[in-house]
Amino acid sequence: MLQLVGRRLLATIPTLFGVLVVAFLLLNVVPGDPVAEMVGERADSATIARLRAELHLDEPIPAQFGHYLWGVVRGDLGRSYITQRPVLGDLAERFPKTLQLAGAAMLLAATCGITLGVLAAIRPGGAVDRFSMFIAYVGVSFPVYWVGLLLILLFAVALRWLPPSGYGGIAFLVLPALTLGTRSIAFLARMTRGAMLDILPSDFIRTARAKGLGERRVIGRHALRNALLPIITVLGLDVGNYLTGSILTETIFSWPGVGRYVLLAIQRRDLPAVQGSILFLSVIFVLVNLLTDVLYAKADPRVAYD
């Protein structure tokens, strides 16, 4: 296991370097002047020239990349043009809020999706099965921003049960977590149902029932445990998507996380903030995939990695 982790960590170095290069080049060919965003249109040319020199924006692209790469190696993701704070400090302040939202969405998706999938597989073709598949098709079909706006109209505007946006207690977390986890509930329900339907006719399930084990124990301890590999795959990918793809959800609900920070940085052409956020989220995504591989071996000892 330690060798696996070591090899995967070494393999992430060229991946993250490629992400760094692509993000830097793409952001530097985007039209617009970040200095003009900082000082406004009324600033004099001398001030703009001085700031461009301080930020190394008057140097060739390879030199700018060299400065940025040296900073990343030293653990410095640069200083935001807009907030005038270190990007790493901004991310450290906002990432716990994104992690809170992602954790709530994952818990909701895992609980609802796996439960629906198991209940649908126990009696295929029944009312629960048809209901779960309807939920799955709806969840996959509707885009995130539409689900978020619909939930705001229903639960915040019409029923006035929950706040429409902002950051605070559990009440503020319900709607964005449900919005972010809707697609995962759909995928998990379908994946769990399919995996359980493949496992339930197996010989070891019939043997467990023949020994007199209760149906709950047969389903939970034997069938579901052997169906965990595809479920872990979906959960692992979804966790990365929660952390890296929450821009729309955080924007709709004014959630002060990394996703909203990235969107504001893109709008204002805050290059260090965008580059640092992309690199930071890429590291998180790679680590989540590594954790998923480790959980594979824990869930099924038959899984081996060469």
CA of 222: how far to CAs of 17, 127, 194, 208, 235, in Å?
43, 24, 16, 8, 20
- Note the pLDDT tens digit of each residue in 269-288: 788 888 888 888 888 888 87
Residue 226 has a pLDDT of: 78
Cα distance between residue 184 and residue 235, in whole Å: 8
Is the confidence at residue 43, as pLDDT, over 70? Answer: no
Residue 227 has a pLDDT of: 80
More confident call, 259 vs 236: 259
Rounded mean pLDDT, 256-281: 84
Query: Cβ distance 70 to 37 under 8 Å?
Result: no
Is the confidence at residue 95, as pLDDT, over 70? Answer: yes
Query: Cβ distance 294 to 1 under 8 Å?
Result: yes
- Sign of the Cα torsion 250, 192, 111, 278 reads negative
Residue 298 has a pLDDT of: 66
Rounded mean pLDDT, 117-128: 85
The pTM assigned to this predicted structure is 0.78
Task: Give, to the nearest 10 degrees, the angle between helix 170-199 and helix 87-122.
Answer: 40
- Note the pLDDT tens digit of each residue in 125-163: 888 888 888 877 777 777 888 888 889 999 989 888 899
Is the confidence at residue 261, as pLDDT, over 70? Answer: yes
CA atoms within 13 A on the CB side of 58: 7
**Which amino acid belongs to residue 118?**
V
Is the confidence at residue 304, as pLDDT, over 60? Answer: no
Rg (CA), the chain: 24
Is the confidence at residue 22, as pLDDT, over 60? Answer: yes
Is the confidence at residue 68, as pLDDT, over 60? Answer: yes
Residue 141 has a pLDDT of: 79
Rounded mean pLDDT, 75-102: 86
Q: Give the mean pLDDT of the chain.
A: 81
**Domain 91-299 in CATH 2.40.30.170:** no
- Note the pLDDT tens digit of each residue in 174-230: 999 888 888 888 888 888 888 888 888 888 888 888 888 887 888 877 788 778 777
Domain boundaries, the chain: 2-73, 91-299
Chain centroid to Cα 87, Å, comes to 20
Q: Which of 31-45, 72-86, 134-148, 151-165 has maximum average pLDDT?
A: 151-165
